[in-house]
Amino acid sequence: MKRQFPDMVALRSLLAPRAPRLDMWKARVERAQTVGDLRTLARIRTPRAVFDYTDGAADSEVTLARSRELFGSLSFHPRVLKDVGDIDTSIELLGASSALPFAFAPTGFTRMMRADGEPAVARAAERAGIAYALSTMGTTSIEEVALAAPRLRRWFQLYLWRDREAGLDFLRRAQASGYEALVLTVDVPVAGNRLRDVYNGLTIPPQITARTFIDGAMHPGWWFDLLTTPALEFASMNSYGGTVGALINQMFDPSATIDDLAFLREHWSGKLIVKGIQRLEDAVSLADIGVDAIVLSNHGGRQLDRATAPLRLLGTVVEELGSQMEIYIDGGVTHGADVVAAIALGAKAVLVGRAYLYGLMAGGEAGVDRVIEILTSQIRRTMALLGVRTLAELDPSYVTLP
C-alpha cells in the first residue's frame, strides 16, 4: 500500500482537544454510565463510616447479596419484530400518574451523605415526575421538604413509636403540608445488627474522634460541608446523639401489632402503604383491613440477615392479592432492568433507595438527577429489547427466575 503524508485538516479534527472542565467531580458524575459507577465515586468522596452506613447491611450481609444475585441471575425472554418506536414508561400509582415505574424510598440521615440532603432528592424527584417518601429519620423537616419541592408527590414514612402522641404530631404535620400517602414501616421492632456501623463507631451526628479526624483529612470537602451548614440532626424529633441502633431500640415500639393500624386510620385521611412485608399471610391480613398498597421488602438487608429476596415472593403475593391492592417491591435495585423485571412479575412499582444515595454522595443534586437518567435509559432500552412499548404489556412470560 502506498504511504502518504496525513491530511492535516483531517488530523486536526481527530486531535481536537476537549475544553478543560473546572469541576472534575461534576464531569465524572456526568460520565457515569451505571449506578455502580456512582457508587465508586461516592466511596471516594465520602468518609468510610458514612459510605458504609449507606452501603452496608446486617450481620454477614447475606440478605442484601441474595436480593442482588436474584436480579442478576434472572433470564429475559424477548419478543421480536414488535413496534418499539415509542416507549412509554408512565404508570398510575395510587390514583395518580407517575412518569416512571419507580419511586424514591425513605432513607434516614440523608444530610449525612451530602449537606443538601433531602431537598436535593426531593427536587430531583419532582423534576422526574416521581414520588419521594421522606423518612421519619430524615434530617430535613416535613415542612422544609414541602417548600423545597411544592409540586412533588410527597409520601411520608412513619414507624410505630412508643410515644403515640409523637406519631400523631408527624401525621398532622404531614397532612398539613400536602403529603398524599403514609408509608408505615413495620419490619423494625428492634434494630438490626449492622456490623459496619458498629466497627466504624458511627453516631448521629458524627463525632470527631482520632479515626474520623484522619478519615476527614482524606475527605475535606465532606467535612467542610458538615461544619459550615446547619447542624446535622433529626429534623422531625428532638435532638439525639448516639448510635443508630440505640435510637431505634429507645424510640420504636416492639409491641406494635396489626391492631395499631386502626389507630393510624383514625388520624390519617390519605393513602396508606405498609412497607416491610415478607410473608404471604401478612400481606393477606393487610389486604383484609383495606390498606392501599404494600411493599414487599427486607429493609434492604439491614434488619434480618438470611431473609428472602422480595422478588422471590412477588409472584405468589400478586397471584393472591394483586386485584385488591397495589404491590411494590424494593431491595437490591441498581439497574433499570431490575425495575422492568419486577413489573413483568407483577409489581406495580419499585422503590429505589441506595441507588439515589450513591448519586447524592457522588455529586449532590446533580448526582441524583444522573441516577434517574441512568435508570430511565436502562428501563427504556430494556423495554425496547424485550419488544414492549408500555409497561402494561409486560407479564411473567418475559422473565424466568432461577
Residues identified as active-site: 299
Helix (H, G, I), strand (E, B) or coil at 341: helix
Q: Look up cell 419478543; give the residue.
A: 79
- Element containing residue 92 per DSSP (H, E): strand 91-93
* CA nearest neighbour of 268 among 348, 157, 186, 349: 157
Radius of gyration of the chain (CA): 22
Helix H or strand E encompassing 39: helix 35-45
The number of beta carbons lying within 10 Å of the beta carbon of residue 252 is 18
Q: Which of 386, 379, 391 is nearest to 83 (CA)?
A: 386
| DSSP one-letter code for 100 | S
**Phi, psi dihedral angles at 330 (to 5 degrees):** -145, 180
Rounded-to-integer distance, Cα 94 and Cα 261, Å = 19
Here the cell at position 290 is: 383495606
The residue among 291, 373, 325 whose CA lies nearest residue 124 is 373
Cell of 282: 401478612
Which residue, 166, 141, 172, 174, is CA-closest to 250? 166
Give the chain's count of helices (H) and strands (E).
Answer: 18, 12
CA 324 to CA 36: how far, in whole Å?
Answer: 36
